[in-house]
Amino acid sequence: MEIVVRPTHISDAKALSELYSQPKAQRETLQLPLSSEAMWVKRLESMPEGVYSFVAEIDGRVVGNIGFEHAQRPRISHCGSFGLGVHDDFHGLGVASRLIETVIDLADNWLQIKRLQLEVNCDNEAAIACYKKFGFEIEGKAILSCFRDGEYSDTYYMARVKP
């Protein structure tokens, strides 16, 4: 099984709507449930400067997405952040790892980014383990920072600083 990562196209809007409508994707990302294809088209058509989006495909099917933002303000232009989602049927197959590898390559080798950062739900042990595999460390905890399933939850701030 080959995982192909490529830039996101506007024609991926329907697949992204489906991906982020999955129960795990709804719970573990900051996307709202049941997003429309039209919302994704609008988002992809109007991506601001410094924002990059990639999808992961298996057998031509979009199974993952990562959005990466390179900070544009001069004093933090050495920083980048990302969020990602994987279709519920494709967890544990290395999709997230391939997407993270893509962003790390872009950050380290092309954009001169020294610090990559993210937020992750404190109870998302699989994602935390994946991020740690790439050198991300927990820097702090944000109490009641995310609202999901009708209640507030905590998130960790994680970062990877390039030596």
Summarised one tens digit per residue, pLDDT across range 96-109 is 999 999 999 999 99
Sort strands 79-86 and 115-121 into parallel, antiparallel or unpaired. Answer: parallel
Cα distance between residue 56 and residue 134, in whole Å: 18
- Asked if residue 35 has pLDDT above 90, the reply is no
Q: Which two tokens stand for residue 101?
A: 């590898």
pLDDT of residue 69: 97
Whole-number pLDDT of residue 90: 97
Residues 44-57, mean pLDDT to the nearest whole number: 96
Q: Using CA atoms, how far apart are residues 138 and 131, in angstroms rounded to an integer?
A: 10
Amino acid in the structure at residue 10: I
pTM confidence score: 0.94
> Each residue of 82-92: pLDDT tens digit?
999 999 999 99
Please work out, in degrees rounded to the nearest 5, the angle formed at the alpha carbon of residue 106 by the alpha carbons of 101 and 108: 90
Q: Is the pLDDT of residue 114 over 90?
A: yes
Q: 7 vs 162, which has greater pLDDT? A: 7
pLDDT at 33 over 90: no
> Which tokens go with 102?
């893509």
